[in-house]
Amino acid sequence: MATDEPQIPDWDSADWDKGAGLLPAIIQDAATGQVLMLGYMNREAAEVTVSSGKVTFFSRSKQRLWTKGETSGNALLLVSVAIDCDRDTILVQANPVGPACHTGARTCFGDGLPAGAGFLAHLDMLVQSRKAEMPEGSYTTSLFSEGKSRVAQKVGEEGVELALARMKDDHAEIANEAADLLFHMMVLLADAGLSLDDALDVLKKRHG
């Protein structure tokens, strides 16, 4: 769960009557934006979600509150919660601990990777895990092992190669070199104790 307490919606304003006391709750990966699952919450489940920091639903089949991961350990740790403009749908952003689906898939909609910029967040988390675990045989591990000079050198090399590709107007090479630069930039951030979010926070502040 994030260090900052999530802003609590005005549950009194939610249209609980529309769904006979239950509202659909869309669960989104806070890091990647990928939709993980859909559940239902009554007011008690919504309040327990906020107070406990773990996403909790009302099980329509068992007719009781159900906290995700209570048996599997694959919890959803609350980051933020909001109600939509019609006051009849809840959006929850959470950090998943393990797969979200009971089948073992990443999401209840399949095991596909996040699309678009969400994949960068997924890749950044993978790079961070490589640094923490340092698995043998991993190229990323070898970069961390060689130290910051080698990591910095690779970023410099990839930046130059991207610039040269642009001068040649080779679109395939531009895309390949841009991918290499993005990856090695994430390695450099992780090596420095930072993450992609730190760079994105700067961009957000500049944009604002």
Q: Is the pLDDT of residue 3 over 50?
A: no
Q: Give the pLDDT confidence of 103-139 residue by residue, as tens digits.
A: 999 999 999 999 888 999 999 999 999 999 999 999 9
Cα dihedral 90, 36, 75, 59 sign: positive
Q: Give the pLDDT confidence of 9-49 residue by residue, as tens digits.
A: 999 999 999 989 999 999 999 999 999 999 999 999 999 99
| Confidence (pLDDT) at 7 | 78
Reference 74, options 108, 44, 104; nearest CA is 104
Reference 26, options 18, 16, 35, 14; nearest CA is 35
| Confidence (pLDDT) at 2 | 40
| Confidence (pLDDT) at 4 | 61
Q: Tell me, what CATH number does 131's domain have? A: 1.10.287.1080
Please check whether residue 146 lies inside any domain of the structure: yes
31 to each of 35, 37, 82, 109, how far by Cα in Å? 11, 15, 16, 18
Q: Is the pLDDT of residue 1 over 50?
A: no
Task: Quote the domain boundaries for residue 163.
Answer: 117-207
Please check whether residue 179 lies inside any domain of the structure: yes
Please check whether residue 102 lies inside any domain of the structure: no
Residue 108 near residue 38 (C-beta atoms within 8 A): yes
Q: Is the pTM of this model over 0.85?
A: no
At residue 202, the 3 state secondary structure works out as helix
Please check whether residue 104 lies inside any domain of the structure: no
At residue 20, the 3 state secondary structure works out as coil
Residues 130 and 78 placed together within one structural domain of the fold: no
Q: Tell me, what CATH number does 82's domain have? A: 3.10.20.810
| Confidence (pLDDT) at 168 | 97
Q: How many CB atoms lie within 10 A of CB 118?
A: 16
Please check whether residue 2 lies inside any domain of the structure: no
Q: Give the pLDDT confidence of 49-98 residue by residue, as tens digits.
A: 999 999 999 999 999 999 999 999 999 999 999 999 999 999 999 999 99
Q: How many residues does the chain have?
A: 208
Please check whether residue 81 lies inside any domain of the structure: yes
